[in-house]
Amino acid sequence: MSTKTLVGLAIALAVVAGAVALLSSGDRGGNAGGAEGAVLPALAARVNDTQSLRVTVAGDETVASLARQGDRWTIAELQGYPADWARVRDTLAGLAQATVIEPKTDNPDYYDRLGVEDVDGEDAAGVLLTLAFADGEPLGVIVGNAAAGREGRYLRPLGQVASVLADFDVDVPRTPIGWADTAVIDLAAAEVADVRVTPAGGETLRVWKTSADDTDFILEGGLPEGRELKSTWAMNSLGGALAGLVFEDVRPQDGFDWEGATQVRALTFSGLQVNLDLVREDDGAWVRVAASAPFETQVGDEPAADDDPAEPADVVTADEAAARIRERTDGWAYRISSFKADALDQQLDDLLKPLAEAENDNGQP
């Protein structure tokens, strides 16, 4: 079975697990705005059939359109980039399980105090979530303010005048990016054996370690005569530049010219190789990512001799790790922070003290 198939099955199982959790809430009965019961009594039985989720804010502006595509959810405003399933699941489950803590106003003049006014107003504070299903009418609810000094959030089902304070504590994103899993790569410096940075038409900067037990990286070729490192940290920062790399925006990568890209290659002790191309545009720095396993080893640890054989360690080969990265990143370009871009796009001079400072430190005039 291919890695891609395994990943798909894992996601599908997560969906099924979420479905079981949601359906276990059962039919709570009750009506929105009542003294007790579910805020959206019809949703519990239908939540697993949800096919789309639309997020609308003030001025009747749709900021995110999520659609179920097989075993994943995608975001139309991000050209079909996968949504963060955990966030989608938590939102749907939260709505299906939300119960009334306390009935609130049914007077439209007071809706704005709770943030549950209609979102067609320019100053509307709430968020309208509209759920569509394979069959039947859509369902909508306005998610208002969090209650001050107590648990819960104000909700008003679309088409109803009564609002409620409900035990719904999910923060609903108001941007497309907020619905995406923004992780790109996360390689801890301790995992990295070798980093090479090659600018277009420039010389390659390489740092490396001989062992995973080493604390510091080694600069290939050593220091130029009369020059000093700014600090050991400056050199080691190259090894950690791919740790916690997240994106601020995402687009298909074929919309960029990668000819003059800075090329970054990181190789881990496990045998995983990550290649990253970086270009700078008017709106920021963009990267594309490729992964492979030219030196196949395993990423996880073998179980110790005294480990319970019924509880095997989570062993992932470098090839499987590369496949997971490709599954997520193939075809996409990511805008990253300027801080991360500068950490990746370094040359030898960036690691060295300015020449005059180095001469002064050496006692030279």
Tell me the pLDDT tens digit for each residue of 227-245: 999 999 988 999 999 999 9
The whole-number average pLDDT for the span 169-185 is: 96
The pLDDT of 74-82, averaged and rounded, is 96
Assess whether pLDDT exceeds 80 at residue 74: yes
Among candidate residues 151, 176, 201, the one where a domain is terminated: 176
Could you tell me if 154 and 228 lie in one domain?
no
In this structure, the answer to whether residues 353 and 332 fall within a common structural domain is yes
Phi/psi of residue 354, nearest 5 degrees: -55, 150
Q: What is the spatial distance between Cα 139 and Cα 128, in angstroms, rounded to a whole number?
A: 10
**Which band of pLDDT confidence, cut at 50, 70 and 90, is reported for residue 302?**
very low
Q: How far is 365 from 356, CA to CA, in rounded Å?
A: 9
Q: Is 112 found in the same domain as 201?
A: no
Note the pLDDT of residue 15: 43
Given a cut of 50, whether residue 335 has pLDDT beyond it is: yes
The domain total for the chain is 2
Domain boundary among 141, 176, 211: 176
Residues 27 and 120 in one domain: yes
* 248 and 296 co-located in one domain: yes
Instruction: Report which secondary-structure segment, H or E, holds 133.
Output: strand 127-133
225 plus 349 within the same structural domain: yes
Domain of 187, in residue numbers: 183-361
Which tokens go with 315? 């062993």
pTM value is 0.80
Q: Do 216 and 105 sit in the same domain of this protein?
A: no
Shared-domain flag, residues 224 and 276? yes
CA-based max dimension of the chain: 85
CA terminus-to-terminus distance, the chain: 68
- Judge if 257 and 216 occupy the same domain: yes
Is the pLDDT assigned to residue 171 strictly greater than 80? Answer: yes
Q: Which of 144, 176, 208 is the last residue of a domain?
A: 176
Q: Same domain, yes or no, for 121 and 236? A: no
Interstrand relation of 284-292 and 332-336 (parallel, antiparallel or unpaired): antiparallel
Report in angstroms the alpha-carbon separations of 208 from 233, 240, 322, 349. 14, 12, 21, 18
pLDDT of residue 179: 98
Residues 246 and 285 in one domain: yes
Given a contact cutoff of 8 angstroms between Cβ atoms, the answer to whether 262 and 200 are in contact is yes
User: Do both 47 and 116 map to the same domain?
Assistant: yes
